[in-house]
Amino acid sequence: MSRELVILNKENSRQQRTKEKMLNLAMYILAKNPNASLNEIAEAAEVGRATLFRYFKSRKQLLHELVVEADKKLEKATRPIIEKKLSARDTLEEFIRVLVPLGASFHFLNSEQINSEDSGIADLYRNQLIRLRELSERLKAENVVAADVPLAWIAAVLDNLIYTAWITVSEGDIATNDAPGLVLRSFLTGLAPQSMNKTNPRGFS
Amino acid sequence: MSRELVILNKENSRQQRTKEKMLNLAMYILAKNPNASLNEIAEAAEVGRATLFRYFKSRKQLLHELVVEADKKLEKATRPIIEKKLSARDTLEEFIRVLVPLGASFHFLNSEQINSEDSGIADLYRNQLIRLRELSERLKAENVVAADVPLAWIAAVLDNLIYTAWITVSEGDIATNDAPGLVLRSFLTGLAPQSMNKTNPRGFS
DNA sequence: CTCTTCTGATACTTTAAAGTCTCAAAAGAG
DNA sequence: CTCTTTTGAGACTTTAAAGTATCAGAAGAG
């Protein structure tokens, strides 16, 4: 008769791919509209509603897995950067580069929509906030950001610029490759023309 | 027997005040969480759920009135500025000053949550977008913003900075009076120190 | 104080989305 | 091709929020 009763993901099976597709599209849809119905998500992922429920026993669990997923992606993207022990300025630059394409995950984890109950999740959320705050502190300490700017403002602006970039790209209004440069530039020197002798901050053109 | 069957708002009656309280709190709550339940809104406004339904026959109508309200407020705040025919730079400054305190209305009207169906509303929404876009265009034309920055990015950043300011203030993280300055500064010159040389400009302490 | 208006509480119905179940058929593996 | 796994469709139940109705009592006007 049949084998295992447990659904075991076998390396890179069909199940694995289906699940990933659902997670990806769910992230995409929910980042844009946090209260999208499971119907919309299933439709976007091109699977039946039943399949969604086969892999996630409830909306809550889907959300949970998305958060864990988002955390994993962000961790994987940012840890190598931190380990390079660059200057705050260079860390910022590399952070922006990797975070803009992860805008959905990033904003998703940063948004408060989720943290209600679910103790384990609150930690990931808190970690994320702490990371942002730490970077903000270093930027101030190393004089990359002016001393008189409140920490809360630095973190909030960074978060929002990254999310704005992601959404603007995903709606086709600006080019993917322009986005990180625009974020860095907006954040550090603003959008006014660099009238004086200011040199273009390195790297971004 | 009793008088009018129609509920007629008599200048500044109790009804008037109740309704305004509900509209204000609804705006506040919904700006933070677009899918808050009517229960939460009623609670925040300190009225019974029944009263909410007395004044707004459905959630949809509440939303509708909120949009109209938001549009009125924004119109009232910005029209005088436009009529002054200032430079783009000064217009921007005055816009930011009046829009930050109206952050909830502003972002509410700008968010896409609503525009579904309801033809009349779509117009207000479109007008709002056009106003933002026009300002962005003028900023570019008058060289307040660098020529190579995409219009979509200017408008998006402006929208988001204003909303971020409002929410940061309303959560108590930055002072009300600091907010417009931070927005203008972030937008035009960014958060980096304004000094010419990279090393500490202020010498020792 | 008296009479009317307005409100809050509560119990009720309706609706839309969440969640369950079944089955036939598509997709893969051998 | 055959046999097994996995899926999509759709019918069904449950749940939570939307929406309705009623009524007793608070608030306000004269």
Encode pLDDT of B121-166 as tens digits: 778 888 888 988 999 999 999 999 999 999 999 999 999 999 999 9
The contacts of residue B108 (CB under 8 Å, 6+ apart) are B27, B30, B31, B66, B67, B70, B114
pLDDT at residue A14, as a whole number: 80
8 Å CB contact between A45 and A22: yes
Q: Measure B118 CA to C21 C1' (Å).
A: 38
User: Which of the four pLDDT bands, split at 50, 70 and 90, describes residue A9?
Assistant: very low
Q: How much is the average pLDDT of B88-96?
A: 96
* Calpha distance A105→A77 (Å, rounded): 12
CA atoms within 13 A on the CB side of A103: 24
* Calpha distance B197→B199 (Å, rounded): 6
pLDDT at A201 > cutoff 80: no
The CA-to-CA distance between both ends of chain A, in Å, stands at 63
Q: How much is the average pLDDT of A148-152?
A: 95
Radius of gyration of chain B, Cα coordinates, nearest whole angstrom: 21
Tokens of B100: 């930050």
pLDDT at residue A197, as a whole number: 45
* Calpha distance A159→A128 (Å, rounded): 11
DSSP A3: -
Q: What is the largest CA-CA distance in chain A?
A: 78
H or E segment at A179? helix A179-189
Tokens of A196: 């004086």
8 Å CB contact between A32 and A38: no
Higher-confidence residue: A167 or A110?
A167
Check residues 14 to 43 of chain A and report those whose beta carbon is under 7 Å from nucleic acid strand D: 14-15, 18
**CB neighbourhood size of B101 (10 A):** 19
User: Which of the four pLDDT bands, split at 50, 70 and 90, describes residue A34?
Assistant: confident
Question: Lowest-pLDDT range, A188-202, B35-49, B56-70?
Answer: A188-202
Give the amino acid at B92: L
* Calpha distance B98→B75 (Å, rounded): 11
CA distances from A68 to A42, A55, A124, B50, B179 (A): 20, 15, 8, 40, 34
CA distances from A91 to A36, A51, A95, A135 (A): 35, 41, 6, 8
Q: Measure B20 CA to C3 C1' (Å).
A: 27
pLDDT at B202 > cutoff 60: no
CA atoms within 13 A on the CB side of A121: 22
* Calpha distance A51→A53 (Å, rounded): 5
Question: Lowest-pLDDT range, A8-22, A45-59, A63-77, A112-126?
Answer: A112-126
Q: How much is the average pLDDT of B96-116?
A: 80
pLDDT at B119 > cutoff 90: no
Is the CB of A185 less than 8 angstroms away from the CB of B186?
Answer: no
**For all residues of chain B together, what is the average pLDDT?**
86
pLDDT at B200 > cutoff 60: no
CA distance, residue B2 to nearest chain A CA (Å): 45
pLDDT at B3 > cutoff 90: no
CA atoms within 13 A on the CB side of A165: 29
Picking from B173, B191, B198 by the largest number of A CB atoms within 10 A of its own CB, the best residue to mutate is B191
User: Which of the four pLDDT bands, split at 50, 70 and 90, describes residue B116?
Assistant: low
- Give, as ranges, the nucleotides of chain C with any atom within 7 Å of a protein CB: 4-11, 16-22, 27-28
CA torsion A46-A48-A49-A55 (nearest 10°) is -90
Q: How much is the average pLDDT of B61-72?
A: 93
Q: Measure A69 CA to D3 C1' (Å).
A: 36
With b for 16 or more beta-carbon neighbours within 10 A and e for fewer, the A166-189 pattern comes to bbbbbeeebeeebbbbbbbbbbbb
Long-range contacts of B122-126 (CB under 8 A, 24+ apart): B124/B67, B124/B68, B124/B71, B125/B67
* Calpha distance B49→A6 (Å, rounded): 47
Is the CB of A188 less than 8 angstroms away from the CB of B191?
Answer: yes
* Calpha distance B60→B118 (Å, rounded): 9
